[in-house]
């Protein structure tokens, strides 16, 4: 049974997983190359990073079918540190070329350790606390980012300067993109047995290779960006980084702060992508397992010369939509990418950039939550604001900042709403005791409203504060309750606290043992007096 479950987890449909994996591998090439250029490093470092991230997370990650590789969100964070490292390297008595790249490899070791620790301490579960408006804002913002990143592929090298295409070259590019998107839109209506993205890439490549159509290709894109090409060997162990630790004197703060940001960006993007793929496939992955696998992959990148990375939402959606649901699809994508580097560089370099842009444009269309336009006027105004704000911040800054800002905004809205919910109904018992029946959560946000409900000086000599319909949620609430009780006691009035939760009782007695006489031990719940008496009578 265990073996059968393991095999099913690895591949539910070998044909679909293999074909979708090949499709993803083709789409990974320009992405990895482009993000390497963004980070200011050699394209092969980006490709090695995509391979190592892909293979480790495919085999050991928390979400079968999810694709990981070099990402733009992490590349942007790396730039400053790499530039600083290169400046330090050039200023040394014996200059060191590409010292910034060596610093990146060292930083990735810390990134991996932080991410593994997050998995070990089970922090991955907190992604489940991300509100739905934040999730929709993240999806919309990321779709826009993916779209904008593709616009850079509409540039060509003119006399050593990158300029947007014009005239015939632009129309050819647009035509090939439209052909790719048309195939991906129409083919699934005829058959779903083969991935439409793979067919579109092959057809468009044949049009340019055999039809004599001149178009920008993967090879020309790499050379225009300053790279030598895709051809390379296997990743090699970067032993030299351990001899460069002395170059970090005075820069450890930069290394560690960059590592923390990279780890946070990687985990947030991966866990959000995992959540999205969970919804698409109606299954559930393991966030903690993904944290550990991603951390291990980043350590491997640091040791063997990759740029690191995290989950890629675009490629993950391509994979799932192409039928790749098992771990085999991600493993095939990673191995195929390595084979392209080792044996198929000349063929891959002939693939038109337009075909890959068309695939990503279809991903954008499939990723964007178009329903958000229909529901904006139907959901609460604060939720609509959070949705729009997260989308904008994702485009303006990056994913991690956007998600953190969205969660904070949602938490503040939640706290404000709950702060206004606190109530205290009053009644007088036959013996003259005034009862405050508290309703609503007592926490830092509602303390002020809670305090305003009481009037110790005017109240009778006996007061009871009943928490049967309330919950003291944090230390601020406990402190507010302690202060109110002390005010009555200072006025020599008798106060009783009833139906407190066990943890609240423990905290109150820990700091104020004299409250033993204030807290009333009441086992029976008055809401069930009728039911209890009925049962007793029947017995």
pLDDT of residue 85: 93
Token representation of residue 310: 């995290």
At 466 the pLDDT is 92
Judgement on whether residues 492 and 345 belong to the same structural domain of the protein: no
Residue-wise over 332-365: b if at least 16 C-beta within 10 A, else e?
bbbbbbbebbeebbeebbebbbbbbbbbbbbbbe
Are 309 and 453 members of one domain? no
Residues across the chain: 539
Strands 434-442 and 462-472, bridge-based pairing: parallel
Residue 241 located in a structural domain: yes
The answer to the question of residue 173 being in a domain is yes
Q: Are residues 300 and 227 in the same domain?
A: yes
What is the CB neighbour count within 10 angstroms for residue 476?
16
Q: 493 and 350: one domain?
A: no
298 and 430 belong to one structural domain? no
Same domain, yes or no: 253 and 297: yes
Identify whether 124 is part of a domain: yes
Considering the domain architecture, whether residues 371 and 432 belong to the same structural domain is answered as no
Q: Any idea which residue has 């789409």 for tokens?
A: 27
Token reading at 178: 């439209």
The pLDDT of residue 392? 92
User: Which pLDDT tens digits describe the chain residue by residue (539 residues)?
Assistant: 545 656 666 888 899 999 999 989 988 887 787 778 778 788 889 999 999 999 999 999 999 999 999 887 788 788 889 999 999 999 988 889 889 999 999 999 999 999 999 999 998 777 777 888 988 888 888 788 878 878 888 887 777 777 888 889 899 999 999 999 999 899 888 887 777 888 888 899 999 988 888 888 888 877 776 666 777 789 999 999 999 999 898 899 999 999 998 998 899 889 888 988 988 888 888 999 999 999 999 999 999 999 999 998 888 988 998 889 899 999 999 999 999 889 888 888 888 889 888 888 887 888 788 888 888 888 889 999 999 999 999 888 777 788 889 989 998 988 888 888 888 999 999 999 999 999 988 888 899 999 999 999 999 999 999 998 888 888 888 899 889 999 999 999 999 999 888 888 887 787 778 778 788 765 444 443 333 333 343 33
Q: Is 204 a member of any domain? A: yes
248 part of a folded domain: yes
Query: Across the strands, what pairs with 461?
Result: none
Q: Are 36 and 75 in contact (CB under 8 A)?
A: yes
Whether 471 and 380 share a structural domain = no
Give pLDDT, residue 530. 39
Q: How far is CA 261 from CA 20, 75, 482, in A?
A: 32, 11, 40
* One domain for residues 317 and 383: yes
pLDDT number for residue 471: 84
Residues 204, 150 share a domain:
yes
Quick check: helix, strand or coil at residue 377? coil
The predicted structure's pLDDT at residue 243: 92
pLDDT on residue 265:
84
Tell whether 456 and 342 lie within a shared domain: no
With respect to residue 70, please indicate whether it lies within any of the assigned structural domains.
yes
Which residues, in sequence order, are bridge partners of residue 519? Answer: 497
Residue 430 is part of a domain; what is its CATH number? 3.30.750.24
Are 436 and 304 members of one domain? no
| Residue 336 belongs to domain spanning | 31-390
Total domains present in the chain: 2
121 in a structural domain:
yes
Q: Is residue 22 part of a domain?
A: no
Residue 4: predicted pLDDT: 61
Q: What is the DSSP letter of 273?
A: H
């Amino acid at each position: 049974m265990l073996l059968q479950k393991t095999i099913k987890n690895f591949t539910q449909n070998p044909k679909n997983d293999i074909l979708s994996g090949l499709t993803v591998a083709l789409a990974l090439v320009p992405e990895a190359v482009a993000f390497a250029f963004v980070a200011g490093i050699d394209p092969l470092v980006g490709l090695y990073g995509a391979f190592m991230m892909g293979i480790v997370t495919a085999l050991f990650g928390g979400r079968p079918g999810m694709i990981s590789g070099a990402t733009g969100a992490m590349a942007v964070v790396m730039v400053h540190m790499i530039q600083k490292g290169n400046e330090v390297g050039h200023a040394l008595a014996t200059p060191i070329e590409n010292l910034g790249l060596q610093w990146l490899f060292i930083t990735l070791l810390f990134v991996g350790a932080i991410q593994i620790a997050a998995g070990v301490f089970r922090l991955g579960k907190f992604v489940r606390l991300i509100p739905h408006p934040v999730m929709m804002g993240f999806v919309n913002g990321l779709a826009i980012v993916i779209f904008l990143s593709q616009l850079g592929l509409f540039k060509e090298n003119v006399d050593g300067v990158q300029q947007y295409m014009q005239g015939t070259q632009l129309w050819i590019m647009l035509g090939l993109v439209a052909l790719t998107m048309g195939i991906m839109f129409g083919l699934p209506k005829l058959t779903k047995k083969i991935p439409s993205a793979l067919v579109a890439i092959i057809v468009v490549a044949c049009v340019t290779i055999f039809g004599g159509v001149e178009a920008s290709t993967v090879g020309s894109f790499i050379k225009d960006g300053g790279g030598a090409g895709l051809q390379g060997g296997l990743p090699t162990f970067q032993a030299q980084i351990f001899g460069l630790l002395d170059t970090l004197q005075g820069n450890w703060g930069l290394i560690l702060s960059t590592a923390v940001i990279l780890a946070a960006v990687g985990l947030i993007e991966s866990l959000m992508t995992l959540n999205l793929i969970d919804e698409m496939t109606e299954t559930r992955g393991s966030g903690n397992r993904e944290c550990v696998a991603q951390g291990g992959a980043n350590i491997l990148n640091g040791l063997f010369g990759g740029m690191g990375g995290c989950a890629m939402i675009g490629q993950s959606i391509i994979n799932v939509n192409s039928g790749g649901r098992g771990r085999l699809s991600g493993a095939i994508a990673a191995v195929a990418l390595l084979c392209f580097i080792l044996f198929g560089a000349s063929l891959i370099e002939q693939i038109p950039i337009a075909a890959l842009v068309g695939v990503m444009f279809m991903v954008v269309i499939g990723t964007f939550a178009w329903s958000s336009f229909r529901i904006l006027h139907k959901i609460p105004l604060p939720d609509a604001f959070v949705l729009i704000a997260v989308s904008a911040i994702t485009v303006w800054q990056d994913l991690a900042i956007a998600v953190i800002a969205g969660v904070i905004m949602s938490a503040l809205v939640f706290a404000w709403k709950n702060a206004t919910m606190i109530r205290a109904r009053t009644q007088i018992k036959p013996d003259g005791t005034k009862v405050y029946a508290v309703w609503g959560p007592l926490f830092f946000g509602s303390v002020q409203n809670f305090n305003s409900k009481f009037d110790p000086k005017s109240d009778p000599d006996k007061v009871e504060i009943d928490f049967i319909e309330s919950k003291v949620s944090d230390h601020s609430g406990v402190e507010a309750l302690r202060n109110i009780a002390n005010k009555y006691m200072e006025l020599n009035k008798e106060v009783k606290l009833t139906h407190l939760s066990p943890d609240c009782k423990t905290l109150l007695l820990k700091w104020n043992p004299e409250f033993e006489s204030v807290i009333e031990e009441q086992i029976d719940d008055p809401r069930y007096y009728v039911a209890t008496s009925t049962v007793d009578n029947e017995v």
